Structure 1
Amino acid sequence: MTIALRGAALSPGVYGYDDLSVGDWIDAGSTPVTAAHIDQFAAVSGDHYALHMDEAFAASKGFGGRVAHGLLVLSMVDGLKNNASARLDGLVSMGWNWRFDAPVLAGDVIHADLTIVGKRTTKSGTKGILRTQFDVTNQRGILVQSGLNELLFAL
């Protein structure tokens, strides 16, 4: 779901609603996904499915290693967004429309780009809603997750 037309990548800084245009994009950076991350997410979420926890089971199902929880990867992507050198000064996330396009294995490194794909103000005119498209790839450039996120901004 990559956006074809993008403007310039945003420089480091904090960006409010009025600072942003459709087509602006942020290189949110990269992070490794480790077995320890998978273990910690399983402990917090209670999701101990064998595909995530057992190397031999994952191999028996045709995977090259333990598969990270999809929601773990999404959470790590949100962390990349919130710690990028160019950050959005939004108030809250209003929701996600997300796809798990390919497995992320323990030891993979994910990279996230986000592109501004829509803007609108609320009926009250005191808030703005920004629609962002995320493309998440692994170290081989394979799209592993993608989707949309809407953020609420004060005006």
Structure 2
Amino acid sequence: MSAQNTGDTADLPVIGLGLPFEEWTVGRRFRTIGRTVTDADITNFVCVTGMLEVLFTNLDYLENESLIKGRLAPGALVYSFAEGLLLQAAMQHTGLAFLGMELKVHRPVFAGDTIHVRSEVTSARPTSKPGRGIVTAMNEVVNQKGDVVLAYSATRMVKAAKAG
């Protein structure tokens, strides 16, 4: 590439854009990149949300009294990170609305765990308005050991590539 800036980027392809409705076909499966949950992530999340439970804030309690050992991450943080990974991977410029979900936590996540999301489209239908559709996907959050730690079915409105 030339060091000279011509100011014209219209001919460059844009990367990182989400999947348009037409690509959310039933049975389609994909996975996101991974993300490691850190001590700082846990501290920041519990402080900003007010989830100041001893399971998340008191290391002495975790070591000496808790039945669960290790720096525990709230399930809400794990879900939030999963949504962030999905947004980065599949919904930039195409996600229109989050419509609902059903969620189940299967295992704890600890500081130092690396998670990614496996997703499978379970339903997809166009809306009555052109240019958009309703998509439901089953999302499994998986840790570095291959264990499903959290699973949720999410329904979203997604922009179509063609307005109809």
Distance of 1:139 and 1:154 partners within structure 2: 33
Match of 1:27 among 9, 25, 31: 31
Superposed CA deviations along residues 3-56 of structure 1, whole A, max 9, x for unmatched, are xxxxxxxxx863211122111122111101111011101111011100011223
| Map of 2:21 onto structure 1 | 17
- Residue identity opposite 2:110 in structure 1: L
| Map of 1:48 onto structure 2 | 52
Match of 1:110 among 102, 107, 115: 115
Shift of 1:143: 1.1
Distance of 1:20 and 1:106 partners within structure 2: 33
Q: Secondary structure at the match of 1:77?
A: helix
Distance of 2:113 and 2:106 partners within structure 1: 15
Q: Secondary structure at the match of 1:22?
A: coil
Distance of 1:110 and 1:14 partners within structure 2: 20
- Residue identity opposite 1:106 in structure 2: A
Find the structure with the greater CA-based Rg.
2
Shift of 1:145: 0.3
Following superposition of structure 1 onto structure 2, how do residues 67-86 of structure 1 map, counting pairs within 5 Å?
A: 67-84=72-89
Q: Is the 8 A contact 1:130 1:152 kept in 2?
A: yes
Distance of 1:103 and 1:20 partners within structure 2: 30
Q: Is the 8 A contact 1:31 1:111 kept in 2?
A: yes
Q: TM-score by structure 1 length? A: 0.83
Q: Secondary structure at the match of 2:61?
A: helix
Q: TM-score by structure 2 length? A: 0.79
Q: Secondary structure at the match of 1:107?
A: coil
Is there any run of 5+ residues in structure 2 with no aligned partner, and where?
A: 1-15
Is there any run of 5+ residues in structure 1 with no aligned partner, and where?
A: 1-11
Q: Is the 8 A contact 1:64 1:105 kept in 2?
A: no
Count, aligned residues: 141
Distance of 1:23 and 1:74 partners within structure 2: 22
Q: Is the 8 A contact 1:54 1:66 kept in 2?
A: no
Q: Is the 8 A contact 2:18 2:95 kept in 1?
A: no
Identical residues among aligned pairs (%): 28
- Residue identity opposite 1:27 in structure 2: R
Two-structure CA RMSD over aligned residues (Å): 1.6
Moved over 3 A (4+): none
